[in-house]
Amino acid sequence: MKSLALALLMTTPPDYDQSIKTFRQERDTSLRKNDGWLSIVGLYWLNEGTQRLGRAENREMVLSDPEIPETLGSFTKTANTVHFESTKGIDVLQYGKKISKATMPVGPDHQLVFGNFSFFIHQSGERYAVRVKNKNSPFLKAFNGLQFFSVDQHMRVNATLRRHPKPQPVEMTNVFGDVEQYQSPGILEFNILRKKLSLVPVLVSGETKKLFIVFRDETSGKETYGAARFLYTDIENDQRVTLDFNKAQNPPCAFSHFTTCPLPPPGNHLPVAIRAGEKNSTLTNQ
């Protein structure tokens, strides 16, 4: 026991507990931002052709909010291209300027803005949708803060990345059943709770050293969110990786019904209870 305590002192930063407290505060602040995950209030799947968005019940995409006009405008999808045209007399902004027509590439960098609302194109597998954010989101108003397990230094472990000769494709199905493509540099091997385990990490898009891990464990659906939790980390050198489960977080779909979170790939269900990181929060049971 003494040698274990000494090992922890040698491998855990002296200000570790405070760093986790800071991490959690920053996580809470991020969720509460006007454009954070709690602001998402709509997801409208696009079919080929034109679909109108507005408050009126006979619109193809109905957004029932008094701030939204009966018809804000229309989205037209042709193959992999989406165009928007606003209703005459309705001021919609893109890149800070009023527009009447616009091409809509995928991603929030190309969002349209109307009052407290913003709209952008989201891709899920091979499908496209209009995602909607609202600065006055009811999810944001209902949020009572995150719940966490107590910080446990035993849940911060070293892992070895057993690299593939080159990154391998990994498919993950999301909560809407769409298949999304990722690249995995190898397999993470580690010891925790007296068991030798492994996880399949994938690379964060556009990065070579940042890893994204989607996992379930024996707390999933009980003490923690049922679909999965997320963990981000870095490759510290060619093979060394630190897995800090005290930083495990709920996916966006724990906070909004309009997000498309990936589910764990095969092999990423840990046969142990990882009582570290985020627990179920207020909105996760709704």
For 195-245, the DSSP string reads: EEEEE--EEPTT-SSEEEEEEB-TTBTTTB-SS-EEEEEEB-SSSEEEEEG
What pLDDT was estimated at residue 1?
42
Strand 97-99 versus strand 210-215 pairing type: unpaired
Instruction: Give the number of residues written for the chain.
Output: 286
What pLDDT was estimated at residue 141?
86
Residue type, 125: G
Q: What is the DSSP letter of 174?
A: B
Strand 49-54 versus strand 61-62 pairing type: parallel
Strand 112-114 versus strand 127-134 pairing type: unpaired
CA dihedral 154, 156, 162, 167 (to 10 degrees): 150
Could you tell me which residues are beta bridge partners of residue 229? 215
pTM of the predicted model as reported, rounded to 2 decimal places? 0.89
Separation of alpha carbons 32 and 227, rounded Å: 22
pLDDT along the chain (286 residues), means of 10: 41 86 96 92 97 96 96 96 96 96 95 97 96 93 92 96 96 96 97 97 91 98 96 92 97 91 96 97 50
What pLDDT was estimated at residue 6?
39
Structure tokens at 160: 């070895």
What pLDDT was estimated at residue 247?
98
The answer to whether 180 and 169 are in contact (CB under 8 A) is no
C-alpha distances in Å from residue 143, one per residue of 240, 246, 254 = 37, 21, 11
Residue type, 73: G
CATH of 37-142, one of 3.30.70.580, 2.60.200.20, 2.40.50.140, 3.40.605.10: 2.60.200.20
Separation of alpha carbons 170 and 179, rounded Å: 10
Separation of alpha carbons 225 and 264, rounded Å: 13
Every domain of the chain and the residues it spans: 2-32+145-285, 37-142
